């Protein structure tokens, strides 16, 4: 082997290692350090009952953050979650709790969520809380949200900007994978069956 070939091999090796590290540690995906997604929360469900992350242990959580007044993206995401769940056998469905966490607690009261989750999978749990608890929960899931600009502060007819990611957490509350609102339900169902199927 000539010297330049050795150098070329070494350089190739370094480049491959760098790419592998980039992929493994999530550079550029916006999702860094798998273990750092998710964490404790203390909220109120759509029946008005207090619920913490610990109440969901023992089952997978399929979590989406959004708001009930969202005109398009949130309903699409929740519909995809519902269609994906419906493609699973009943036993697997029982092992997954679809969860909708509002990022608009001002308008999304427990009553509002109760009426809204009825449109989706029967086991879907809606969660709301104080603005502080919601902000904390979004933060542990690295979800961005904020009131969209352009409508006066006093108006209750406003839009929210927010990330649109569906998280799959395992029965210990740890991150497994994520989807977007544009992930086809069939693909989501495949991953859910793989994670929770028997």
Residues that bind Ni ion (CB under 5 A): 66, 70, 73-74
User: What is the smallest separation between the CB atom of 163 and Ni ion, expressed in angstroms?
Assistant: 9
User: What is the smallest separation between the CB atom of 67 and Ni ion, expressed in angstroms?
Assistant: 6
User: What is the smallest separation between the CB atom of 195 and Ni ion, expressed in angstroms?
Assistant: 25
User: What is the smallest separation between the CB atom of 74 and Ni ion, expressed in angstroms?
Assistant: 3
* Inter-residue contact 44 to 51 (CB < 8 Å): yes
Cβ proximity to Ni ion: between 78 and 85 the closer is 78
Cβ proximity to Ni ion: between 134 and 195 the closer is 134
Q: Which of 124, 103, 104 is nearest to 114 (CA)?
A: 124
User: What is the smallest separation between the CB atom of 142 and Ni ion, expressed in angstroms?
Assistant: 17
E-strand stretches of the chain = 42-45, 50-52, 60-66, 96-102, 125-128, 145-147, 160-162, 165-169, 175-180
Cβ proximity to Ni ion: between 62 and 74 the closer is 74
Cβ proximity to Ni ion: between 53 and 108 the closer is 108
Residue nearest to Ni ion (CB): 70
Contacts of 144 (CB under 8 A, 6+ apart): 138, 161, 162, 163
Cβ proximity to Ni ion: between 66 and 185 the closer is 66
d(CA 63, CA 76): 14
User: Residue 198: how many CB atoms within 10 A of its CB?
Assistant: 7
């Amino acid at each position: 082997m000539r010297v330049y070939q050795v150098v070329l091999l070494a350089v190739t090796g370094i480049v491959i290692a760098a790419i592998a590290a980039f992929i493994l540690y999530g550079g550029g995906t916006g999702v860094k350090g798998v273990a750092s997604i998710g964490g404790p929360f203390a909220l109120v469900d759509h029946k008005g009952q207090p619920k913490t992350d610990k109440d969901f242990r023992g089952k997978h959580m399929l979590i989406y953050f959004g708001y009930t007044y969202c005109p398009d993206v949130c309903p699409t995401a929740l519909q995809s979650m519902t269609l994906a769940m419906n493609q699973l056998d009943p036993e697997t469905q029982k092992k997954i709790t679809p969860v909708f966490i509002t990022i608009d607690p001002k308008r999304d009261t427990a009553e509002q969520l109760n009426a809204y989750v009825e449109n989706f999978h029967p086991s879907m749990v809606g969660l709301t809380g104080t603005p502080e608890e919601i902000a904390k929960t979004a933060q542990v899931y690295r979800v961005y949200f904020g009131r969209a600009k352009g409508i006066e502060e006093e108006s209750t007819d406003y839009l929210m900007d927010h990330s649109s990611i569906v998280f799959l957490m395992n029965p210990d509350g740890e991150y497994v994978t994520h989807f977007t609102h544009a992930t086809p339900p069939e693909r989501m169902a495949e991953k859910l069956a793989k994670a929770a199927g028997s």
